[in-house]
Amino acid sequence: MTHDSPEKTVSFEESSYRSRTVPPELGARFARAFDLSDRPETLGEWVNQFRRRARTATDWPPAVEDLCLTDDSRHEATIDGETRYFHCDLDALLVPFLTDGTVRIRSETPVDAETVVAEVGRESMTFAPSDAVLSLGAGDAATDGFDPEVAYGQICTYVNSFASMAEYERWSETVPEAKTMAIPFAGGLGMAGEMVRAGERSA
């Protein structure tokens, strides 16, 4: 993988995210969007609840073709030499867990237009820059009952890759309508994997 910034290689066993605390207001928004009985207090709890809810309401996990594809965007995934473009970063991050082989992910950050790249294999990931983080968040649109597309839209809008925590913090000030948090990029990829299939490629 070629990138001007230092790379970092992490196994999925090292990419733990599950014990990270979800801020109370963000957890409450996750619960409202997905009509959950309990507010998730950790990211592990949130992913377990998300996966159960998605499976009861939709044909989950999706195929790559079912994701929000577009002709061009700042989020892309390359599979066997074919590059696919996605409306949101979250969909690009899901791709390695919906297909076999190594997947290259590339995302342009929303503030500084930096590039975060990753190559994701069966046991590990290599990404750059090494200080990259991933934001998670939720808006607060009112819904009449649980609507999978609306609920997913409430979270995917606020999933972005950043070259550093400092860039994330500047971005978070531009989305006052949302509640957000950021975690190391490796943990974010591990989380994306468990959103699709428990225990596959992630810790």
Lowest average pLDDT, out of 137-141, 166-170, 185-189, goes to 137-141
CB 80: neighbour CB atoms within 10 A?
Answer: 9
Residue environment code for 41-53, b if the CB has 16+ CB neighbours within 10 A, otherwise e: eebbbbbbbbbeb
Angstrom distance (rounded) from CA 54 to CA 194: 12
Position 2 scores a pLDDT of 47
Position 59 scores a pLDDT of 83
Whether 117 shows a pLDDT value over 90: the answer reads yes
| Residue 121 near residue 18, CB atoms below 8 Å | no
Dig out the tokens for 117 from the structure.
């790249």
Collapsed DSSP state (helix, strand, coil) of residue 119:
strand
CB 170: neighbour CB atoms within 10 A?
Answer: 13
- The mean of the pLDDT values for the chain is 89
Whether 198 shows a pLDDT value over 70: the answer reads no
Dig out the tokens for 82 from the structure.
């074919």
| Element housing 106 (H / E) | strand 103-108
Angstrom distance (rounded) from CA 61 to CA 51: 9
Check whether the bond before 61 is cis (ω within 30° of 0): yes
pLDDT tens digits for 52-92?
Answer: 888 887 788 889 999 999 999 999 999 999 999 999 999 99
Dig out the tokens for 85 from the structure.
């473009």
pLDDT tens digits for 8-50?
Answer: 998 877 778 999 999 999 999 999 888 888 999 999 999 999 8
